[in-house]
Structure 1
Amino acid sequence: MTKAHTEIMSVQNARVKDWAQLLERRGRDKQGKYLIEGYHLVEEALRAGARVETIVYSLEKGAPTGWDELEQAASPVEWVGVSQAVLAKCSDTQTPQGVLAIVARPQLGMDELLAGEHDLVVVLDGVQDPGNLGTIIRSADAVGAKAVVLGRGTVDLYNPKTIRSTMGSMYHLPILEADLSLLLPRARERGVRLVTTSLQAERSCYDTDLRQPTWLILGNEGKGVSPEVAAQSDVQVIIPMQGKAESLNVAMAATVLLFEASRQRLV
């Protein structure tokens, strides 16, 4: 495939300033786009058919090769060679890998989620750490969960730290933001069982039937699931622990619950 390449050398270029704004949530919300960095993530985005608009690469290192077939499966992509200074301005890392991409944010709403399969879904209520969100998305991907829902107060999926921590799993299943006070009642109407975690719960997750359509709801790292969301749950469970640890990290708890649900489905 013959690609049309352009070059930008100055950090004062208007397009470069737009790209740099994508490092902040306000810029991402304004432009409806986000930035990914590194060969693995850009390749995963192309492979998944994400709306990659522009691939920005280091003129010093040269344009990546071997993506022609992947690019044909996606929408037409613009290639822009840039200076190291431009890459540094648009990068969230200390040592840029030499390639980044500008991607249009997908538009997935509640109606689309509820219309599809919702056998096993993870719902996050105020999870604030990018690393935790990324790990939960990877675990959901690993067990074949149908979606991840980000409730109000949850860290932005398109935060560069979150994106890196997903290791590409963000492209393997639907992820959407939603108002849980509106979404959860509609899910229950469709036969979904809402399961929340609580340190005060008496019911073990291992003694709870997770084979039916189930949405696992996990809350903020310090406060847990909000009272408003907990009030909508059908059952509260606890992960029993034999040792002396007071509790599990939210990403660890989500992983345990997801793999227990997966195990029950495989029995």
Structure 2
Amino acid sequence: MSVPADDPLLSTRSGRVKEARRLTRRAARTERRLFLAEGRQAVREALALPGCVREVFAVPGRHDDLRTHAVGVAWHDADEAAVASLSDTVSPQGVVAVCSALDRPLPDVLSDTPSLVVVCADVRDPGNAGTVVRCADAVGAQAVVLTGDSVDVHNGKTVRASVGSVFHLPVAVHRETAEAVALLQERGFTVLAADGSGETDLYADPQLLRGPVAWLFGNEAWGLPAELAELADHRVSVPIPGRAESLNLATAAAVCLYATYAARR
């Protein structure tokens, strides 16, 4: 059973709501190692991850089915305004969970011996970051790494864009991209840099995709700096036979990851 709230109906003035609202700021999330997951899908997936959810704020009567899964979790009935104050969406769904931070050190993630890793270098847009996490989850990748000045994986928009996938696979945060690449190579990964001007065609050599692979994706606007792309074992380009100038980050990631999946089938 969920743990009943102390107050029968919390408002925006409640101390618990005010404390949770602090987590809308990155500094507070970093300091407290907590974040907010908003919406039915995110809360459902968070509750399925043992030990992840600390407490839930929900509008009474709207999410009772989720409450049955909140074993040992403090469940607070709160009014619409209180729950909405914890959300940055236009149409809040009336349920928000306070969750423990998900990121792990990169060496710790690699100790699980993954065979497909996705590295996002300086990815700033939370929607793109969340979509890449979702794509990685969909193809069965075992980890996502955010490097450089990438967006906070616990950003509300990132969590929503992942559609729950952020709770399904390990996420590492590593400040220096070059160090992350070197560590992956030391662990036996072939690092492939997605680069529109890369010398290797994505579909030219399926064998290249069959061993332990780490895909390296760059910023939405400027891609991968040359000095980072050169650190990879191969710079790989996605063929564009049509007239489009390029593919956006999330689309390119999806194409590369599914090509990897296809090569391994």
Partner of 2:117: 121
Partner of 1:206: 203
Seen in structure 2, the aligned counterparts of structure 1 residues 88 and 125 have a Cα distance that, compared at 3 Å, is same
Displacement of 1:34 after TM fit?
0.4
Partner of 2:17: 16
Q: Could you say what secondary structure the match of 1:71 adopts?
A: coil
The amino acid that maps onto 1:162 is T
* Paired residues for 1:81-96 under 5 Å: 81-96=77-92
Please list the CA deviations of residues 64-92 of structure 1 after superposition, one character each: whole Å capped at 9, or x if unmatched.
Answer: 23543x434xxx31111112221122121
Structure 1 unaligned spans of 5+: none
Question: 1: CA distance between counterparts of 2:43 and 2:66?
Answer: 12
* Paired residues for 1:6-155 under 5 Å: 6-7=6-7, 8-59=9-60, 61=61, 64-65=64-65, 67-68=67-68, 70-72=69-71, 76-155=72-151
Partner of 2:160: 164
Q: Could you say what secondary structure the match of 1:90 adopts?
A: coil
Q: Could you say what secondary structure the match of 1:65 adopts?
A: helix
Seen in structure 2, the aligned counterparts of structure 1 residues 15 and 66 have a Cα distance that, compared at 3 Å, is closer
- Superposed structure 1 runs of 4+ greater than 4 Å apart: none
Please list the CA deviations of residues 83-125 of structure 1 after superposition, one character each: whole Å capped at 9, or x if unmatched.
Answer: 2221122121232212111001135112212211221111001
Matched, 1:193 2:194: no
Displacement of 1:57 after TM fit?
1.1
Seen in structure 2, the aligned counterparts of structure 1 residues 42 and 131 have a Cα distance that, compared at 3 Å, is same
Question: TM-score, with normalisation over the residues of structure 1?
Answer: 0.91
Question: 1: CA distance between counterparts of 2:111 and 2:155?
Answer: 28
Question: TM-score, with normalisation over the residues of structure 2?
Answer: 0.92
Q: Could you say what secondary structure the match of 2:65 adopts?
A: coil
Question: 1: CA distance between counterparts of 2:246 and 2:110?
Answer: 32
Is the 8 Å Cα contact of residues 10 and 17 (structure 2) preserved in structure 1?
Answer: no
Displacement of 1:198 after TM fit?
1.6
The amino acid that maps onto 2:85 is K
Partner of 1:4: 4
Seen in structure 2, the aligned counterparts of structure 1 residues 66 and 92 have a Cα distance that, compared at 3 Å, is closer
Please list the CA deviations of residues 131-178 of structure 1 after superposition, one character each: whole Å capped at 9, or x if unmatched.
Answer: 211111111111100101001111111111111111111111111111
Segment drifting more, 216-225 vs 84-93: 84-93
Is the 8 Å Cα contact of residues 2 and 70 (structure 2) preserved in structure 1?
Answer: no
Question: 1: CA distance between counterparts of 2:148 and 2:245?
Answer: 27
Partner of 1:182: 179
Identity percentage of aligned residues: 35
The amino acid that maps onto 2:158 is T
Q: Could you say what secondary structure the match of 2:102 adopts?
A: coil
The amino acid that maps onto 1:28 is R
Partner of 2:264: 265
Question: 2: CA distance between counterparts of 1:66 and 1:90?
Answer: 18
Is the 8 Å Cα contact of residues 63 and 81 (structure 1) preserved in structure 2?
Answer: no
Structure 2 unaligned spans of 5+: none
Seen in structure 2, the aligned counterparts of structure 1 residues 193 and 159 have a Cα distance that, compared at 3 Å, is same
* Paired residues for 1:215-230 under 5 Å: 215-230=214-229
The amino acid that maps onto 1:17 is K
Displacement of 1:50 after TM fit?
4.8
Question: 1: CA distance between counterparts of 2:218 and 2:63?
Answer: 42
Segment drifting more, 248-257 vs 125-134: 125-134
Please tell me the root mean square deviation across aligned C-alpha atoms, in Å: 1.7
Q: Could you say what secondary structure the match of 1:121 adopts?
A: strand
Is the 8 Å Cα contact of residues 57 and 98 (structure 1) preserved in structure 2?
Answer: yes
Displacement of 1:225 after TM fit?
1.1
Displacement of 1:6 after TM fit?
2.4
Question: 1: CA distance between counterparts of 2:26 and 2:65?
Answer: 31
